Amino acid sequence: MGNLHSVELSFKRLKREIKIVQEPTGLKGCDALVLPGVGAFDPAMKNLGETGLVPFLKQWVKDKKPLLGICLGLQLLFESSDEGNAEGLGLLKGHVYRLPSDQGERVPHMGWAPLIAHKESPLIEKRNKNSWMYFVHSFAVKPTNQEDLAASVKFGEHMVAAIVWKDQIGACQFHPEKSSRSGQKMLEKWLKWIEIDSLKIQ
């Protein structure tokens, strides 16, 4: 759904082998998964369902293997969305809501903004207060469990989720693959964590 090519190129620049998974058999030999996405919630869930991958993604997470969601890919990890009627993957508890229009901000929220870190994770360090990332979104997630919220971004007088993290699942509302050096450093941090954590998974 939209940003597959740019995500693929960003990991190739980091000298990591990437393959596009379009069916369950494609998961064989994978060390970690990236769920990217740009577009609408319902069509994305429909497309994902047609691949037959949904039960395998749920098993992947149950087995505590690394998964990174990007933009719409973050939203699909949750239970439901104001954008449609389809059920999300439900891998994280929470709901996706439309950004409020009364904040003096443009919707969609588009452009660069600094992250506000809440906790350490393999995507961001809590002391890092100067990571500017590139956002393009009209919806944001509200996790049921606040401990799943790793970083936020300011939107008018509101704070909206920018990064979520739980166990082996991480996801970001922004586009690290389009966020220049800041995004590259974040992906490098995640990849380094995968290499260390793979020792525990095997």
Q: Which residues are catalytic?
A: 71, 175, 177
Query: Which H, E and C letters describe the chain, residue by residue?
Result: CCCHHHHHHHHHHCCCCCCCCCCHHHHCCCCCEEECCCCCHHHHHHHHHHHCCHHHHHHHHHCCCCEEEECHHHHHCCCEECCCCCCCCCCCCEEEEECCCCCCCCCCEEEEEECEECCCCCCCCCCCCCCEEEEEECEEEEECCHHHEEEEEEECCEEEEEEEEECCEEEECCCHHHCHHHHHHHHHHHHHHHHHHHHHHC
